[in-house]
Each structure stands twice: as structure tokens, then as C-alpha cells.
Amino acid sequence: MNPCFIEACEAGTIERYTSLEAELLELAEYEIYELTEEAIALLHPPSDEARNNASSLRSHFQRYRDNIRFHSIAIKKYPVTFGGDKKLMLFLWRVPKEPSDRADADNDRTVMEVKNRLPVIHSRAVRREFTERFSHAVVSPSVLRQMYTLLTCDGSAPHDRAQRDVDERTLEYLVSGGDIELWPDMRVLNSGERDKYDLFWAAGDKVCASLVSCASDNRHGQERTLQQPISVPDFRRRVVEQLVADGHPDAAVPTDQWIAFQFMPRHPTRELATRHTGRWEISLKVLSTTLRKFNADAHACNALELNVKAFIEEADTVLVRAFEAQRDEVGAASDDQASHSGSDSDSGPASDGDSGRDSGNTIDYYLTSTNARTVRLSNDDKCKVPTGEPDCPVGTNVRPMAAALAARTVQLRAMDHSWHRASITPTVTLLTDLEHAFETNKWRNGQLVVTVKDSILQPSSAFRNAAELKTTILNQSAKPIIIDKRTDGGPEQNTTFLSVQLANVALLRATGADLLIHQRPAADTSWVNEVEGCMPLLNMALQHQATARLRMDERFETLLSNEGSMSKIREAIAAIEDPSERAAAKAAWTASVCGEGAPVKLLEQRFGRLEYTGRRVIIQPVETASAIEDMQDLVKEIDPNWESTMTTKAAVAKLPKLTSFLETHTVCDKYIVCIFNCGRAGDCPFDCPPLRMPLAAYKELIGDRLKSGCKIVPQPEHTPASGKEHFDTYENLKGRPTSEKHYPSYTPATRASSSATAADAATQKKAGAELWHATKARLTIGCSECGKPRCLFSLSALTAEQVDLAQSCIDDVSSYVCGATGLFLDDHVLASKLHIRAAITCGMPVEKQYYTSKRFRDCCTWCATTDPTEFADPGRLNLNGQKSYTICTRCALVDGKPVVTFGKQVKTAAKKVKAKGRKRQKVDSSEESEAEESEVEESEAETEADGEEASGVEEDDDEYQYTVELVLAKREARVARKGIIVEYAVKWDEWDQTPDMTWEPPENLSNAKEEVVKFERRVAAMPSRDAFSGPTASSACCYATCCKVADRADVETSQCFVRAQRWCTRPARRSTSSSSPSSRSSTPPTSALTARFWLPWWRSGRRLASLVRD
């Protein structure tokens, strides 16, 4: 449409155009003013009737545009109509009032500017082509339309009203940044009968309010998970129950689909979102497994990783500088040699020139590439891949992300269960491209190496891992100088385990490197390991796959048919006595899993077709047993007395040479281990090879730091400069002594948290019985952090099938840490049957249920060593007559770990006797009291001097010990649920009063065994024990019987027997205090006993009388 002039009107401006005329007067001549429908609604508001009628509203806008007239100005009007709805855009600009003052050039320039402002109108076919081209992306069509409009400035109108509503909602969503709180209320879109379901909506509000939300923190912020209903029908049933509870059983109930439309839309940008009302702020969601378990040391370990990276970068710079200086020296020496050889052809041996050339070649080799100097690798085991039995393939448990390509006649099928005995372990290693990492600070770029092995006969271990990494490293660099190894904290990679440290020693000597750094993240944070980012790539090869092992020879199938877990199969093969038969069984099993056409070969082929960062994944063969033995032989070269089974600190402590090597060539901390060459080639008692790095670089990076008491890689620490919220930088920490004291777990927790204790109480309450009792301990699982076994409890005994299933799940768990409870998935058949305590930490000893259940192998309560030769002798531990759980010599005597004891403590204190003595002293005269007190003090001094020699029990601070002088009598009693209880009447040295004698059980007389043996010998030599038996449940005692046999002419003897009779017939009392003398007797009152008393001193009345004389 062409522009037209509207001249000034002499009749005057109509009132509805007054505001528009004022705005045009404020503009310069030929300045464009766009009159939109929104502007018209502000300048001349329509009536309420017109607002509710689209046709009337359109007519209102049209009349306003058609009748524009002004009194004081002349304008030019340029209307433009476009789009399916014939949308009109009107442009106005003021022109000079006199026609003679108007210029055509100004008008043409203004018209061109208006045309540039007009939107470009694209056909539906063009827009459809754009949408179809990018429809494979995870973007809704409405978002694609907005992208098309933004990129092309397309002003086309939507083809219908529904699309317009969706586009408006999408634009609001994009502008709000996804924040649903900024959206308008979607309930304005509703129409029809609005109050039909008001009672249902009100009850639904109560149900939504009753949903309890719980929050968990992770590295992405706060994630909330509702204790949601199972489904929409379940939500409807809960609302109906609420209606009945509110007294409205006949209220109208909407359909499930209409209820679902009351939720927030799951995808706000899709067309379906227009049907949602958003009445309730809940929506349908899918579980996202992104939550991480918190570890207090996670921040410190991340800071340690930054220090390691900074050290590697610094070390590379130092090595380059040192090699360049060495190259200049070699070049100068070669020039001097060449000048001398020119003057005298016979001077100097020929080998010197060769040596110079070899040295120059080595320097050039190290200056060629960063990866030749330093090898940085990240290593971890992927989750075990289940492998079914012959002809019973089991799925890999990898969730398919998309459909797989397969021949038309092929059907992808697997068993409808996941039970399996065999499994496959892919070990993944990422060799970081350090040159790329130094430039871009991206450490996940590099070569991926995968080793696929049988989990049963080729299980991951420290030395197997070292043998595999040796091959991987030497393929990357023939002569590495520094090796940086980052792994998870599993049993075969835990830097605190001595087996891992020895494997690292073997790896250092096998590769000939000068320095090996092995670091690991905090427990439950292995996702920070770089190789973890490569695991989704391997899942691509595992999706839509099911594996089954090949069938073995029938005799081996029969032999292993009843073994239901990996550990049971391994034990069954090892139990074969015939070596040739055992080797044949191993070969048969290996062929069924790893042979041609077996699952291992299948996975190797699939992994080998993958690419990572533009490099084809390398499949590395499994290391043989001889290769692992070669790695162990490298440790034997240090100390020939070392055996491959000696992997505990207590065992290695007996090897002084190996212990000396570990003290002088390693720096071991909780999360990092540094093993280095001492740099004294030819002088080292452990035959360290010559250094590969220049001596100047060695001194700067290793030697000088160790001499000054610093770590090779500094530990993270808080400083005044960094504050308590952050750790200081590597530049500030290097060259200064650091320690692990800034780790939150530096002092291990010896008590569980209150929340963990409450969780255990809730679990036991739910079980409805004594769940945490020793009789309920069924299986154990080892902690990957501290190595201690932890018990798994079950109320009822497990069947053989359940034991095999549980053991299979335990074998699949690679990094259990004390306190973790989620061993089984919620839908697992054993999830509600087997439980493990949450109120337990790595700083706590092995549970007492482990020992009292009598089901598991004996081990040290602190280091979990199972070698009986390492267990400490309880007699050397000064246990005061108590019993103790097993503890090794190193933990008890070297590390000073407390001995976990149980049972009654022997009476080492005379508190009760002292109290009686003080009571008697008050009755006596002051002089007698002073004399008796001095006598008691002398007796106590003598007891302190020789008490340890006599009783072997250590004295407490304000207490002293008794010494057994002789055993007077013995009594036996049968107690319900305890059996026969034996006690001996003891006469204590220096305590001659009758009330001072006590009955003691045999365990309280462990340090006076000679007196007990003498007593038993005398009893055996007596004529008849029946002569000294008293009637059942009576107060008679052997002393009265002895008096009948003894010489009655001896009045002194008769009197002593009478006093002894009064003492013996006193009813025994049960005491709750373990420190009082009477607490030694745990026997019920005499009326409940069938007692027998023997007195071997009936022929020696004079001696007895002298001992019990007042």
C-alpha cells in the first residue's frame, strides 16, 4: 500500500486524536511513529463490550486508524497489511504544513526506512523445513519456532489460535529463564463448569500439603524429592479417602486425565502444556541419579588434586629447563672432543663419542614431548557386567538410550531375571594428553585403554593392577620420569593399604621412573576421577546386549553347579587337591568366559569400535599370572624374605630391610603416596637405578624438599591468607612443612552420629525383634576405607540360594564404606531381609557381634589382619583378669590401640575393704587406730612393690592389688541358662580377718593358677569327696563335717572351723558394682543352688587357725 498525505483540518482536532497529535508534535519532521493496536488502546480505550468481542475490538482499531485528522499538523500515513490474519501496521510521520516546503527526497528516505522496519514474511513451507531439519534435537517445536523467528526476523502470524497460545507461553518461559514462579496463572485458560469439583480440589489441596519433602545437597545445588504417590490413580484414591474423612463421600470425582491436567506441566514449552491448569505445584517426574553422598574430606581432596596438577606442571617446566641446560653441556663437550680428535686421531676411546651421542639422543627424546617425560593416568574398574549361564543370556543392566541396529530377522532377547554367577570386569585407564591439558586446563582429553577380564579367576588386585598399568605406561612412554596415578579408593587402590603401597613400589621399579605419585579421592566421591567421565561411552557398547558363558565339560559343570556366587566358585576350584585337575578346571572356566566366542571377546570387539576424543579405544590383553609374579619379584629383590601373602603392616614390620625401604623411599599419607628414587645409584643398599631426570631437577623437585621436612606434593592447609573456608594455593604451600591435620577426618570419629543411631533404631523397630544381635549376623562385607569386616544382619536364617545371591551382590560392591546402608536396590529381594548398621564409622573397632557370633574368621579388632601369628598374647596386655577380643601385636604395642575387653574385671582395688578398715579404725582407740593404719600402709607399700610379680595385674592410680595366699575351699552351683558355676574361697595375703575372705570365679584367679592347681591336687588326694558334701539347699558346710573328723582335742582348730563355718554359710549376694569386692561373686542366693564344698586343709587345722585368727 502506498503512503498518503493527510492535510491539516481547519475544523479542529477531534478529541480522541488530541494525545496522538501531541506526541507527533514532539517528534521532528519525517521522524517515524508506529501506531500499534496497543498504542491505540492507550490513546483511545475501547469499551468493555468491545473488549469481550474480537470483531468489535478489531472494528474499534480500524475506525481509529481510518479517521485520523489533525488541526495543526500535516502527516503522511503508510499502512501495511500482512500475515494470515491480515495484521495491519500503521506508520506516521509529520511533514511540513505547506506543500511547497515538502521534499520528495525526504519522503523517499522515510519510506525506505519504514520498509526496512517491516518484518520478513516467510511461508509455512519454509518454516516447516526449518522445524523438520532440527526436530531430532531435544527441543520442542514451539522453541524451534521462536528460534526461527529470532534468527530470520519472521513476522508471520500463527496458523491457528492454539499455536498462538503455545508460542506466547514459550516466549514467557524463555524470557523467565525457566522460573515457573514468573509465569502467569494458567487457570485463566479454563472455561466451563468451574465449581463442579470444588470439594475434590479442596481435598486435593490437603493431600498435597501432607506430602513431606526432603532435601539433599549435591554439587549442583539443592535437589528435592517428594514422598509422592505411586501414580495418578493412587493420588485420586488418596483424595477420595480425604473426602470421606471430611464428610463428603458423594462429591464429584474427575477423571485421572483431568486430575493430571491440574499438575504443573512436565514440559512447559510443548503444546500439551496449554491444557494444564497448574492448580497444584506438583508434576510428573523421572528419578535422576545425580545426588552425591557427602564426605567431609571432599573439599580437601579436591585441593590436593589441584596441588598435584600444579606440581606436575611445575615439574615439567623444571625438567625442560634442566634438559636444555644438559643439552648445552653435552654439545659443548662434543665440540671440545671434536677439536681434540682433529688434532690427534688416536686420542680418546671411540666409546666416548658413542656415549655422547646416546646422551644427546636421550635428551632429545625427553625434549620432544611432554607425554614422554610425565605420564598422567586415571584408572578405575567399571561396574561388573553380569554374565548368565549357558543358553541363558542375562542383560548388561545398562539402560538403552536409543534403539539398536539389528538385522530384520534378529530378535534382541534376554532372560527375565538378573541372577548370575559369572561376571566380567572392564578396567578402564585414561592416559591424559598433558600438552593439551597444560594449554586448555582440560584433563579428560587423552587415550582410553580398556582391559576386559573374568571377575572370578582374574579378580582385580593391587599387583594385577600394577602389572596392567606397567604395560599401559610403557606403551605410552618407553622411559617415563614421573608417573601420576589417580584411582578410586577400592581395596586394590586404597593408598593406606600396604598391599597397594608395595604394588606401587613394584610399578616404580618396573617402569624405571624416578617418581610415582598415587592419589585417590575421598570416599563416595570417585565421580571426580577423570576416567569416570569416560564410562558413559562404554555404556554405548553395553546397551541392548546380553551375555552368557559357554558350556564347559560336563564334569566341571557338575562340580560347580551348586556354587552360587563368585567367591564360592573360586573356593571350589581352589579346593581341588589334584594340581592337574585344578589347572584343568581353571582352564575350562576361563575358556567358558574368555575363550573364542565367549562374552569377554564379544565385549572386547564392541569396546574396540568406540572412539574417545578422536582416538580409537585400545583393548589391552589381560596380564598373566607370571606377569603378576614378576611384579612381586621386584619387591622380593628389596627383601628376599618377603612373601606375596605378607601384605599387612604387622607382617612387614618383621622385615627390617623392606621396612627401611618404605621409610626412606616413600612418603605415605591417607590420600596420596609418593614413591621415589633415592638418587644414590651404586650407593643405595636397595639397588636403585640411575636417575633419568637431571640431578639439578631432582634436587629441586624431591631432594631439597625432603631434606627440609616438606612433602613432595604439599598437603592442603588453611592459612591466614586463604581463611578457614578455602585452602591455600600450591605456590604458597610448596617448600614449607605441611601435614594432614587440616583434613576434617584427621581425627577419625569414634562415635556414630545421632542420625545414624536413630536410623539403626528405626530399622530395628521396623524389624520388630532384636535385629542387631550376634545370633542374627549372617555375612560380612569389607570396608574399602579401613579394611574392617562389617556384619550383615538378618532376623531369619538365609537359605543357600539367598546366601549365594547376597554374596554375589557383595562381590559386585566395589567401594563399601563404614556407615553406608544402600547395599541393595529397593526392589531387590534381599533389600528388606539383610541389613547393615549405619551407626558405625571407620574409627570404630570391629563389631563385637563379629566375634560372639562364632561364624567368622578371627581377626584383629583394628587392622583386621587374620594371621594368627600376629595376634598378641592376652597375658602380656595387663587386662586385669578381663577377656579381650583379638588384637595384633602391632596395634596393641606399637600403635597403642586400646584393647577391646569384655567380662568382669578382677578386684584390683581395696575400696570396699578400705572402707571397712576405716570403719573399724573409728571404733578402736586412736593409738590402736594409728598403729593399725601404719601397718596397713606398710602392707600396701609391700603390695605395690611385689603385686605385679605376684598377680601379674597392673595397679590403677589410687588402688592396689590383692595377692592370693592360698585357696581354702571350692563350691559348685547349677544356675539356670548358665550351667555349672565354680567358685573358690580365697584367703588374701595380709588380710587375716574372716570377713575379708571372698569367693572368686576361676577367671579372676588367672594369675594365681599355681594355688588353684595345688588345691585341686589336694582335693583329688582326699579319701572321698562325699564325706565333705552338705545337703542340698542347706546352710551346712564342709567345715562342720571336717570338725567331726578332725582332732577335737585341738580346741584352737575347732574354734577356727566355727568361724570359717559362719563365713562359708553366708548367702552369696549379686552386686551391680564391678569395682566392689562382693561383685566377684555372680552366684544367686544359696537357696537357689545345689552346692558342694570341699576343704583340703582339714588335716592341717593348726595352719588354718593361724591364718584366720582375729
pLDDT, tens only, 329-363: 877 776 666 665 555 544 444 444 444 555 668 88
The pLDDT assigned to 604 comes to 93
Quickly list DSSP for 652-716.
HTT-HHHHHHHHHHEEE-SSEEEEE--S-TTT-TT-PPPPSS-HHHHIIIIIHHHHTT--SSPPP
Please give the residue that has the higher pLDDT: either 1039 or 211: 211
Burial bucket for residue 760 (CB in 10 Å: 0-12, 13-18, 19+): buried
What is the separation of C-alpha 106 from the centre of its chain, rounded to a whole number of angstroms? 76
- Predicted confidence (pLDDT) per residue in 852-865, tens digit: 888 888 899 988 88
Q: Compute how many other C-beta atoms are within 10 angstroms of the C-beta atom of residue 478.
A: 11
854/377: higher pLDDT = 377
Region of residue 218 (phi > 0: left; psi between -120 and 50: alpha; otherwise: beta): beta
Mean pLDDT confidence for 217-229: 43
Which among 357-371, 758-772, 922-936 has the top mean pLDDT? 758-772
Query: What pLDDT is stored for residue 923 in this prediction?
Result: 44
Phi and psi at 33, nearest 5°, equal -125, 125
pLDDT at 139 over 80: no
Averaged pLDDT score across all residues of the chain: 76
pLDDT of residue 379: 93
Predicted local confidence at residue 618, as pLDDT: 95
| Predicted pLDDT of residue 910 | 44
Q: Locate cell 609374579: which residue?
A: 629
- Candidates 770, 774, 772; CA nearest to 853 is 774
**pLDDT reported for residue 1023:** 54
pLDDT at 133: 59
Give the residue-averaged pLDDT of 1065-1090: 34
Compute the average pLDDT of residues 608-634: 93
Asked whether 1040 and 1061 are in contact (CB, 8 A), the reply is yes
Q: Tell which wins on pLDDT, 109 or 640.
A: 640
How high is the pLDDT of residue 940? Answer: 45
pLDDT(549) > 80: yes
pLDDT of residue 316 exceeding 90, the answer is: yes
Question: For position 293, what pLDDT does the model report?
Answer: 63
Note whether 885 and 851 are within 8 A (CB).
yes
Give residue 922's pLDDT band: very low, low, confident or very high (50, 70, 90): very low
Q: What is the pTM of this model?
A: 0.57
Ranking 161-175, 308-322, 653-667, 681-695 by mean pLDDT, the lowest is 161-175
- What digits encode the pLDDT tens for the residues 657-679? 999 999 999 999 989 999 999 88
Phi-psi group of 584: left, alpha or beta (phi > 0 → left; psi -120 to 50 → alpha; rest → beta)? alpha
Residue 15: its pLDDT value, please?
Answer: 77
What's the pLDDT at 1076?
33
Question: Is 50 exceeded by the pLDDT of residue 457?
Answer: yes
- Say what percent of the chain tops pLDDT 70: 74
HSE of 611 in the Cβ direction (CA atoms, 13 Å)?
Answer: 3
Give 546's strand partners.
395
909: pLDDT confidence band, cut at 50, 70 and 90? very low
Q: Do 585 and 559 touch, CB atoms closer than 8 A?
A: yes
pLDDT of residue 639: 92
Provide mean pLDDT across the span 1053-1078.
37
> pLDDT tens digit string along 385-404?
999 999 889 988 887 766 76
Q: What is the pLDDT of residue 342?
A: 53
Extract the C-alpha cell encoding 1009: 593358677
**Listed ranges 8-22, 67-81, 826-840; the one with the highest mean pLDDT:** 826-840
pLDDT digits (tens, 9 = 90+) for 814-824: 668 888 877 77
Confidence of residue 1084 (pLDDT cuts 50, 70, 90): very low
pLDDT score, position 13 = 66
Which of residues 508 and 759 earns the better pLDDT score?
A: 508
pLDDT at 959 over 90: no
- Output the pLDDT for position 956: 39
pLDDT at res. 1092: 38
Whether the pLDDT of residue 992 is over 90: the answer is no
Categorise residue 1059: left if φ over 0, alpha if ψ from -120 to 50, beta otherwise. alpha
Q: Tens of pLDDT along 23-67?
A: 888 888 888 888 888 888 888 888 888 888 878 888 888 888 888
pLDDT at 434: 92
Q: Across 225-229, 295-299, 1049-1053, which has the greatest mean pLDDT?
A: 295-299
Q: What does the angle CA 668 – CA 670 – CA 675 come to, to the nearest 5 degrees?
A: 25
CA distances to 980, 982, 1015, 1080 from 1001, rounded to whole Å, are: 12, 6, 14, 7
In whole angstroms, give the CA distance from residue 25 to residue 950.
119
Q: Is the pLDDT of residue 1035 over 50?
A: no
> Which of 35-44, 280-289, 617-626, 1000-1009 shows the lowest mean pLDDT across its residues?
280-289
Instruction: Give 1086 or 783, the one with higher predicted confidence.
Output: 783
Per-residue pLDDT, averaged over 865-870, amounts to 83
Amino acid at the residue 326: Q
- For 619, list phi and psi in degrees, rounded to 5: -100, 115
Q: What average pLDDT does range 477-483 have in this prediction? A: 92
pLDDT: which is higher, 217 or 487? 487
Q: Which amino acid is at 680?
A: R
**What are 203's strand-pairing partners?**
none
When comparing pLDDT for 22 and 316, which is higher? 316
Model pLDDT, residue 820? 82
> Residue 575: which residues within 8 A CB-CB, separation 6 or more?
none
Q: Is the pLDDT of residue 925 over 50?
A: no
* All cell numbers assigned to 406: 539389528
Q: What is the mean pLDDT of the segment spanning 980-984? A: 82
Helices (H), 553-611: 554-559, 566-574, 579-594, 599-608
Is residue 144 a contact partner of residue 179, using CB atoms and an 8 Å limit? no
For the ranges 449-463, 494-508, 956-970, the lowest mean pLDDT is seen at: 956-970
Is the pLDDT at 885 greater than 80? The verdict is yes
Query: 800-813, pLDDT tens digit by residue?
Result: 888 888 887 887 77
Least confident of 415-424, 623-632, 821-830, 832-841: 821-830
Look at residue 339 in the predicted model and tell me its pLDDT: 62
Q: What pLDDT was estimated at residue 630?
A: 94
Q: How many CB atoms neighbour CB 792 within 10 A?
A: 21
493: which 3 cell numbers?
A: 587402590
